[in-house]
Structure formats: structure tokens, C-alpha cells
Chains A and B, each alone.
Chain A
Amino acid sequence: MQYLIIIISTIFINNIVLAKFLGICPFLGVSKNTSTAVGMGAAVVFVMTLSTIMTYLVQHYILLPLGIAYMQTVTYILVIAFLVQVVEIILKKVSPDLYQALGVYLPLITTNCTILGVAILVIQNNFNLLQSVVFAIGNSVGFTLAIALFSSIREQLDDADLPEYMEGIPAALITASILSMAFMGFAGLV
């Protein structure tokens, strides 16, 4: 039950993009068509789950015992950068198909702030390992949902006849605003 609440709250109520404002760069940058958006989303699900487990272990078995919790930011970003590299190499060897699908998005993920953000949030919320994993999955699915919905709207938006100064980013941002308003309707669900 508790895990179900985490999932629902991270996907709908506190959506990481539309309510918490993390991962706005890929949200605006990689959402011009739905297939790339879904590809990016899948890569994020994969990396976020792995990196949250890694950073959780680093926090509880290295940083806290050594009393150097202040090194959190430095170690986390290194762990994430390293993990993305390893995932890229392994994927290339083990599953060329998957690599073809996700490969191009992987380098972008190191600087995707949802990854580092979730890794830090898990520590701030005092989650245990299982809760952390569920939290990471929920958030990454929430990211995928937001970016997929948004990209399908933007595909339509391309055909709309807009004043020149509203074309592109301004129209996209106003669309995002309406999408975010729609997600506010989930408030109070849990």
C-alpha cells in the first residue's frame, strides 16, 4: 500500500517535471516528436533506477560511516557520470538493439537534473532501499509520461497557425503550463 502511494504520488500528484521542475531541459529539448520522447523516457527509467540504488549504497556504506556527507554532490555526480558510461559500454556489447534505441540519449542523461535530484531527494526523505527504488521508478515513469504527453501535443502544435513571436518555445511553455494545470487536478488523490 505504502509503495502504491509513492508510485501514484510521484507519477501524478508531484510529477517531477510539471510540479517539481526537474528535467525541464530535456522536457523542452527532446519533445519535438513522440518517438524520441519515449526513447529518452525509457533511458531515464533505466539510468535513474540504477543510479538511485548506487548512490543510496554510496551514501549509507561510504559517506555516512566516514563522516563526509558534505561530499554528497561531488560523489553523486561522479557515480552518475561513471554509471552512464558503463551502461553505454555494456549495452553496446550485450544488447545492440537496445543500444540503438537508447544510445543517443545516454550522454544527455548525465546532466539531466532529474537523476541527481531523485538521488538527493531519496536521502532527504529518509527512504530505505526498497522505498528508494520504488520512488525512482515512479519518478522516471512520471518523467516519461510528462514528456510523451507533451511531445504528442507539440506535434499538433506544429500545424497550428500562430503569430510569429509565439512560435516554438513560447507556445511550448504555455502548453506546458496548461498540462501542469491539468496535473494539479490529481491533488488530493492520496
Chain B
Amino acid sequence: MEQSISLKDNFLKGVIKENPVFVLLLGCCPTLGVTSSAVNGLGMGAATAFVLVMSNLAIALVKNVIPDKVRIPAFIVIIAAFVTVVQLLMAAYTPALNEQLGLFIPLIVVNCIVLGRAEAFASRNTAVASMIDGLGMGVGFTFALLLLGTIRELLGSLSVFGYKLVDADGILIFVLAPGAFITLGFIIATMKWLKNRENIKSH
């Protein structure tokens, strides 16, 4: 019973309390770079979540046979291998999405979330716990990208998941680079504001 509760907490911490993007501010490059539409955000999130779960699992399994000194290079090779698997699978089965995300797929390798979780969690915990941790972080990351993508698409092109709501031009700047920065800035500010208010209430 206790085990299942901790598993659930383990999963939820990545989604909310330690959300990699909004709270830990990791993996900002793809967060800003691919979220000009909701679909792109979702695709990027899913690809990263896959790499997170698989590399966390693999690293938790081999952690005891890898000497401490080559830990990081070995982890990087394992992560890079799973990233290449994602690259090949996406080129084969979702070619359009693959083109949209482009460079940001191979760059999952250097996404701080992946190596960060490998270091901080998978190299110290069991395989199952590591997978759950990876899944939680992956879902949290996907949620952040989806939120950002949806807001930017809505304001920038007045559409949701490619479905045009009004036949007019949106506020173009939200689809462009400055819109990414400003939207993320306001989301984080809102989250801080909500947290502050909660703290004041609970006192």
C-alpha cells in the first residue's frame, strides 16, 4: 500500500511540484523553439518522454557495472542511442512531424532534463522507480509544451490544433520568436503569483 502511494507521488512530482519547465526551468530550448503550435508541442513532448523513460530504465539497470569516472560519457551514449531510435522511428512513421521539429529531435540528447534525471534519479534508484520518474517528468514536460503551444497557436493564428476558429490573421508576434519568450515569461509569473496567493491564504 505504501509502495503504491509513493509510486503515485513519484509520478506526480514531475508533473506538478517539480515540473521540469515551469519550476526547474530545464529544457528551455525545445520549449521555446517548437511550440509555435499545439501539435508540435505535443509531438516534441512525447518524443522527449520516450527518451526519458527508456534511458532512465537502461541507466538504472546498468548503473552498478559502470565505474564512476566514465558515468557521464556512458550515460550520454545511452541517451544518444535512444534519441537516434526516436529519430529513425519518426522519420519512418510521422515524417511530417519529424520535419516540423527538425533539429530539436537530435538535440534531445543535450536536453538538461534527460541527463539531469539520469544523474539525479536513475543512477540511484531501482528500474521501476526510475521509469515512473521518467514518465512523470516526461508528462510534465509534455504538459508544459502543450500549454505553451496552445496559447501561442490560439493568439498567433487563432486556431486550436490546426483548426481555425476565426477566419482572420492572429497576433503574428506570438508565433514568432519574441512571442515564445513573452508567453513563457507570463506563464511562469502566473504560477508564481498563484503560489504566493496560496501561501498567504494558508497562513
Q: In the bound complex, what is the Cα–Cα distance between A78 and B73 (angstroms)?
A: 7
8 Å CB contact of B192 from A23, A25, A71, A170: A170
Instruction: Please give the distance in Å from B154's CB to the nearest CB on chain A.
Output: 18
List B contacts of A177 (CB < 8 A): 178-182, 185
Tell whether, in the assembled complex, residue A73 and residue B84 are in contact, meaning their CB atoms are under 8 Å apart: yes
Say whether B177 contacts A74, CB under 8 Å: no
CA separation between A71 and B178, bound complex, in Å? Answer: 34
Known contacts A117-B107, A170-B192; A74/B179 CB under 8 A: no
Chain A interface, >50% SS class: helix
Chain B nearest CB from A85 CB (Å) reads: 9
Flag if A74 contacts B186 (CB, 8 Å): no
User: Does A176 sit at the interface, judged by CB under 8 A?
Assistant: yes
Select from chain B the residue with minimum beta-carbon distance to A171. B185
> Which chain A residue has the least Cβ–Cβ distance from B22?
A169
Within 8 A of B (CB), among A152-181: 164-166, 169-174, 176-178, 180-181
- Whether, in the assembled complex, B33 has its beta carbon less than 8 Å from a beta carbon of chain A, the answer is yes
B80 contacts A178, CB within 8 Å?
no
Residues of B within 8 A of A72 (CB): 84, 106
Contact with A along B96-135 (1 / 0, CB 8 A): 0000000100110111100100000000000000000000
Residues of A within 8 A of B176 (CB): 184
- Complex interface: chain A residues within 8 A of B192 (CB): 164-166, 170
Residues from chain B with a CB closer than 8 A to the CB of A116 are: 106-107, 109-110
The answer to whether B189 and A21 have CB atoms under 8 Å apart is: no
Main secondary structure of the interface of B (DSSP, over half): helix
Q: Is A22 an interface position by the 8 A CB rule?
A: yes
A131 within 8 A of B: no
Choose one: B32, B33, B80, B88; the contact of A74 (CB below 8 Å). Answer: B80
B3 shortest CB reach to chain A, Å: 34
- Proximity string of chain B (62-100) to chain A, C-beta cutoff 8 Å, 1 when within and 0 when not: 000000000011001100110110011000000000000
A-B residue pairs in contact (CB < 8 Å), sample of 25: A21-B29, A23-B29, A25-B28, A25-B112, A73-B80, A74-B84, A81-B72, A81-B73, A81-B76, A111-B115, A113-B29, A116-B106, A116-B107, A120-B106, A164-B192, A164-B196, A169-B25, A169-B185, A170-B186, A170-B188, A173-B181, A173-B182, A174-B186, A177-B185, A180-B177
Beyond contacts A24-B32, A173-B188: 17 other A-B pairs, Cβ-Cβ < 8 A, are: A18-B177, A25-B26, A77-B80, A78-B73, A111-B115, A113-B29, A113-B110, A115-B110, A116-B110, A124-B103, A165-B190, A170-B186, A174-B186, A177-B182, A178-B178, A181-B173, A181-B178
B residues with CB within 8 A of A: 25-33, 72-73, 76-77, 80-81, 83-84, 87-88, 103, 106-107, 109-112, 115, 173, 176-182, 184-186, 188-190, 192-193, 196
